[in-house]
Every structure is written in structure tokens, then in C-alpha cells.
């Protein structure tokens, strides 16, 4: 697996490459090279094979704080906390494609993902309080798309309900059309997903499909 000990794991040029497309991936699990990270890397590899610039950010390596509910963003549309989350949001706002991978923890989306999503309150404020689009260019905004990937250790009914709901909200806040959600139950130990060829192939195919819109 190509995950390195940096928050930004792909050392792309930081701009869109020759294909003109940029995909940002968010690895939300604190488990390095865990199941959701493996699936995200699979997706990124498929996109790179189509000349899409990929940048993967691992939330556990990014110093960022939870939302303090200070309501600072209500009047500006911008979070008052200037930390590691902000540059990642900037890249997501520039991305044609976005892939979020986050496991189920305690029947919900993992804490790092939830913390990052709560900080997106600034985009909710921009949109719904200040009437400002999060992504200004209409054509670009309409073209943005992505997928959500999750794994859970159990196969309990409804185990993905919380994460799916929260991820759907997040994609909407960021003006990203959710092209698909890929949730794999019964995947617990680190690397278990590697023995699920169907899942690996499904993520590869879903990522390639993203490129054409
Ligand atoms: C703190 C914690 C809480 C968890 N809670 C649940 C849970 O409520 N339901 C479940 O099915 N699996 C739960 N799991 C198992 C993970 O969802 C599973 O191991 C998953 O494959 C982890 O993905 P990762 O390797 O990408 O981190 C939990 C794991 C941890 C570490």
C-alpha cells in the first residue's frame, strides 16, 4: 500500500494534472493501512491509472480541533479556527472528485470523520445563513461528484445507518453529488478487506466510473 507517514500521502503537484481532473481522498480512520484506507488507496490507484491527480489526506495526521459552536462562521461563512483542517477543505473545494473513507465506530461514523464534518458548519453557514455558494462556478459545482466508503466489523442490521446519513449531509454541504455509497459489513481485523476481491473490484470500478462523471 502506498500510504506514507504524512498527512498528505500523495505528493502530487498540488494542481490538476494533464487530465485536468483532481480527486481528493479523505482517509478518516485512525488505523493506518486499515480496511477503509486500503479501499481508498484502491480507488486512488484506479484514478491515477486514468491520469487523475489524487491527493489523500489522513485525518489522524492532521492537527485539528472539533467545532466549538462559537457561531463565528455564522457571520463570515468561515471557521475561526485556523488549523490543519482548513487547507484540506480548500483542496476539497477545488476537487472534481471526492472520496471519503470512514469506518463504523460505536454504531456511528468514526470520531475523526465526525470532527471534520462538524467543522463544515462553516459551509452550512455560508450557504444557508449568508446565501453564498460554497463553490461559485455553476458548471464546476454541478460537475462535482464523489463516493463514500465504509467498513464495519459486524453485520448488525442498520450498522451503516448513522455513517451513511452523516456522510450524505457532508457531501451536500460541500456541493458534491454522492454517486455511490460502498459499505462493507463483517470486515473487522486490519487487512480483512484484502480477501474480499468483489469489494476491491467494486471500488476500482466505481472510481473509474467517477472519472466520466
Ligand atoms: C472504537 C471502535 C469502535 C467500533 N465500533 C463498531 C461498531 O459499533 N460496529 C461494528 O460493526 N464495528 C465496530 N468497530 C469495528 C470497525 O468498524 C472495523 O474494525 C473496521 O474494519 C475498521 O476499519 P479501519 O480498518 O478502516 O479502521 C469498531 C472499531 C473500533 C476501533
- What pLDDT digit, counting tens, does each position of 51-70 carry? 999 999 999 999 999 999 99
pLDDT number for residue 200: 98
> Mapped to the 3 state alphabet, what secondary structure does 64-128 carry?
CCCCCCCCCHHHHCCCCCCCCHHHHHHHHHHCCEEEEECCEECCEECHHHHHHHHCCHHHHHHHH
Q: Considering the domain boundaries, does residue 71 fall inside one? A: yes
Q: How many domains does the structure of the chain reveal?
A: 1
Cα 71 to ligand 1 centroid, rounded to whole Å: 32
Q: Considering the domain boundaries, does residue 183 fall inside one? A: yes
The proportion of the chain whose per-residue pLDDT surpasses 70, expressed as a percent, equals: 92
CATH number for the domain including 166? Answer: 3.40.50.360
| Residue nearest to ligand 1 atom 19, measured at CA | 188
Do 141 and 60 contact (CB within 8 A), yes or no?
A: no
Q: Considering the domain boundaries, does residue 44 fall inside one? A: yes
Nearest to 48 by CA among 76, 72, 17: 17
What is the span of the domain harbouring residue 198? 22-211
Cα 162 to ligand 1 centroid, rounded to whole Å: 13
Do 89 and 82 contact (CB within 8 A), yes or no?
A: no
pLDDT number for residue 2: 34
pLDDT number for residue 18: 58
Nearest to 40 by CA among 143, 146, 119: 146
Do 79 and 134 contact (CB within 8 A), yes or no?
A: no
Amino acid at each position: 500500500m502506498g500510504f506514507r507517514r504524512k498527512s498528505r500521502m500523495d505528493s502530487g503537484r498540488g494542481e490538476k494534472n494533464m487530465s485536468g481532473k483532481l480527486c481528493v481522498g479523505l482517509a478518516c480512520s485512525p488505523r493506518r493501512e486499515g480496511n477503509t484506507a486500503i479501499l481508498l488507496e484502491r480507488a486512488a490507484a484506479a484514478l491515477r491509472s486514468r491520469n487523475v491527480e489524487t491527493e489523500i489526506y489522513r485525518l489522524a495526521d492532521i492537527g485539528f480541533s472539533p467545532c466549538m459552536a462559537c457561531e463565528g462562521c455564522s457571520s463570515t461563512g468561515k471557521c475561526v479556527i485556523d488549523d490543519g483542517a482548513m487547507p484540506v477543505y480548500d483542496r476539497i473545494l477545488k476537487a472534481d472528485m471526492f472520496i471519503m473513507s470512514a469506518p463504523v465506530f460505536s454504531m456511528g461514523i468514526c470520531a475523526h470523520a465526525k470532527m471534520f464534518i462538524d467543522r463544515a458548519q462553516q459551509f452550512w453557514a455560508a450557504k444557508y445563513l449568508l446565501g453564498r455558494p460554497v463553490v461559485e462556478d455553476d458548471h464546476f459545482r454541478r460537475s462535482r461528484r464523489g463516493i463514500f466508503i465504509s467498513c464495519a466489523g459486524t453485520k448488525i442490521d442498520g450498522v451503516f445507518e448513522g455513517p451513511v446519513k452523516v456522510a450524505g449531509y457532508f457531501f451536500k454541504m460541500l456541493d458534491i453529488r454522492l454517486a455511490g455509497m460502498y459499505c462493507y459489513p463483517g470486515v473487522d481485523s486490519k487487512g480483512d478487506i484484502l480477501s474480499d476481491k468483489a469489494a476491491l473490484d467494486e471500488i476500482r470500478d466505481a472510481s473509474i466510473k467517477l472519472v466520466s462523471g
